């Protein structure tokens, strides 16, 4: 152990005549600890929120979607043949998408009706695991010549519909009759209730089989689009361009990043902003380190003069106070790291903080600790603590031992 490190530790351990310096040292450690802890907790919660939101979005939506500028796709089997030649494509399924009205005993409301192929849809979206009551097979079964429908949990509550109840769908486009265009209505039996965890989806979406949707909306064999699942969702933009290259006008290809670009850009910007704001707490702790070292230099003027007189260089004196400040910063960082990880563990295990799902999309506070974020926070705290030591350490190294000892 070098004598600079030994002296730095001894100065921190020693009982000083001026207890105010010890108090500021403790405050410095607490300040760094609070900043590191706050950064770890907040960034972990934001990472968890992004991951949870992404899993829920990709649970209801596909990685890539093929649509048509004309509104519907007629010969979609030809598109599916082309998709088979792309190695990144894992699965695909056709779908029909339209806005309709639903009516039940509890009232009526507008919903988003999605027609899916039960045989292939579960390979692309996570609809099977989202169903809490009933089953996906119910869409293919008819009871008393009435087709099945799966409702979102919040939607079912709003219209007071349960599994087995009859609901009526009303298409605003209607059908053409000798008396003019009239709304098209059809009865469906509720065969399932799904819960995605996202309020917007659970309160406005309903699923029926693809054939029933085509028949109800008078689409014939046309579909709205094709949903595609790939091996790696992070490469959806690259694969989407590859698919677009083999498809011709009026077909367009969109991936989940493009369709949710504004949402995830806002989350990324918010994470950066919170990092900058909460780093200010670490800066407060660093300013306390400056105060601590300046007061210590003034208290240890005689010791510094003696060290210089017996041969210690100004660089060695500077090292003593830099090491002392770094120890304070490192202790604060270590305590903040431990406290932050402990709080994240408790939040993740016990989920004791609840959120209004209609405002925040989710009902529980999610947490995901990322090692790179933790490493960046710790390095930033140590670096800030290091820069805080430079001024008082340089001041100590420039003290003239002759002037100090002359008046002692």
Q: Predicted confidence band at 208 (pLDDT cuts at 50, 70, 90)?
A: very high
Return the pLDDT at 177.
Answer: 63
What pLDDT, in 10s, does the model give residues 175-189? 666 665 667 889 999
Closest CA to 401 of 338, 284, 280, 311: 311
Record the pTM. Answer: 0.78
Q: Predicted confidence band at 408 (pLDDT cuts at 50, 70, 90)?
A: low
Mean pLDDT of the chain: 87
pLDDT at residue 251 greater than cutoff 70: yes
What pLDDT, in 10s, does the model give residues 45-96? 999 988 888 888 888 889 999 999 988 898 888 898 899 889 899 999 999 9
What are the residue boundaries of the structural domains of the chain, listed by start? 3-57+263-406, 70-248
Return the pLDDT at 112.
Answer: 94
Strands annotated E in 243-360: 251-255
129 vs 358: which has the higher pLDDT: 129
Closest CA to 229 of 72, 68, 95, 99: 95
Mean pLDDT of 161-174: 87
Contact 78, 133 (CB under 8 A): no
CB atoms within 10 A of CB 286: 26
Return the pLDDT at 362.
Answer: 67
Query: Across the chain, how many H-helices and E-strands are there?
Result: 16, 10
140 vs 336: which has the higher pLDDT: 336
Calpha distance 188→402 (Å, rounded): 97
For every residue of 290-351, DSSP letters joined together read HHHHHHHHHHTHHHHHHHHHTT--HHHHHHHHHHHHHHHHHHHHHHHHHHHHHHHHHHHHH-
SS3 content of the chain, % helix, strand, coil (to 5): 55, 20, 20
Exposure letters 114-148 (e unless 16+ CB within 10 A, then b): bbbbbebbbebbbbeebbebbebebbeeeeeeebb
What pLDDT, in 10s, does the model give residues 51-60? 888 888 888 8
Burial class of 329 by CB neighbour count within 10 A (0 to 12, 13 to 18, 19+): buried
The count of residues in the chain is 408
Q: What is the dihedral of CA 237, 238, 243, 244, to 10 degrees?
A: 70
- Determine phi and psi for 98, rounding to 5 degrees: -160, 155
How remote is the C-alpha of 252 from its chain's centroid? 28
Return the pLDDT at 179.
Answer: 60
Calpha distance 347→330 (Å, rounded): 25
Return the pLDDT at 404.
Answer: 66
Instruction: Give bridge partners of residue 192 from the DSSP assignment.
Output: 134, 150
What pLDDT, in 10s, does the model give residues 123-161? 999 888 899 999 888 898 877 789 999 999 999 999 999
Return the pLDDT at 358.
Answer: 60
What pLDDT, in 10s, does the model give residues 211-242? 999 989 888 889 999 999 998 888 999 999 99
Calpha distance 188→156 (Å, rounded): 13
Contact 150, 191 (CB under 8 A): yes
């Amino acid at each position: 152990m070098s004598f600079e490190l030994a002296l730095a530790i001894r100065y921190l351990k020693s009982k000083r005549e001026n207890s105010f310096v010890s108090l500021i040292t403790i405050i410095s450690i607490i300040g760094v600890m609070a900043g590191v802890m706050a950064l770890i907790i907040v960034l972990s919660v934001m990472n968890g929120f992004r991951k949870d939101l992404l899993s829920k979005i990709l649970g209801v939506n596909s990685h890539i979607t093929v649509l048509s500028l004309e509104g519907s796709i007629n010969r979609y089997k030809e598109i599916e043949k082309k998709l088979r030649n792309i190695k990144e494509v894992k699965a695909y399924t056709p779908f029909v998408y339209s806005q309709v009205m639903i009516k039940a005993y509890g009232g009526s409301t507008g919903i988003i009706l999605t027609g899916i192929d039960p045989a292939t849809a579960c390979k692309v979206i996570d609809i099977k695991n989202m169903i809490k009551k009933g089953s996906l097979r119910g869409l293919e079964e008819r009871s008393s010549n009435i087709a099945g429908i799966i409702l979102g949990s919040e939607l079912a509550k709003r219209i007071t519909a349960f599994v087995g109840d009859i609901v009526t769908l009303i298409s605003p486009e209607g059908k053409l009759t000798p008396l003019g265009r009239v709304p098209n209505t059809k009865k469906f039996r509720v065969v399932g209730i799904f819960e995605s965890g996202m309020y917007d989806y659970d309160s406005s979406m309903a699923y029926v089989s693809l054939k029933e949707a085509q028949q109800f909306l008078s689409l014939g064999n046309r579909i709205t689009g094709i949903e595609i699942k790939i091996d790696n969702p992070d490469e959806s933009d690259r694969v989407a361009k590859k698919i677009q290259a083999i498809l011709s006008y009026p077909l367009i290809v969109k991936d989940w990043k493009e369709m949710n670009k504004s949402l995830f850009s806002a989350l990324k910007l918010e994470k950066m902003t919170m990092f900058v704001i909460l780093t200010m707490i670490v800066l407060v702790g660093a300013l306390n380190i400056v105060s601590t070292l300046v007061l210590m230099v003034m208290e240890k003027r005689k010791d510094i003069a003696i060290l210089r007189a017996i041969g210690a260089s100004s660089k060695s004196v500077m090292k003593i106070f830099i090491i002392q400040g770094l120890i304070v910063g490192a202790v604060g960082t270590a305590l903040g790291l431990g406290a932050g990880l402990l709080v994240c563990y408790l939040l993740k295990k016990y989920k004791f903080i609840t959120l209004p799902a209609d405002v925040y999309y989710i009902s529980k506070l999610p947490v995901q600790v990322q090692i790179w974020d933790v490493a960046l926070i710790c390095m930033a705290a140590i670096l800030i603590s290091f820069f805080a030591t430079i001024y008082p350490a340089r001041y100590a190294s420039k003290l003239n031992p002759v002037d100090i000892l002359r008046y002692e």
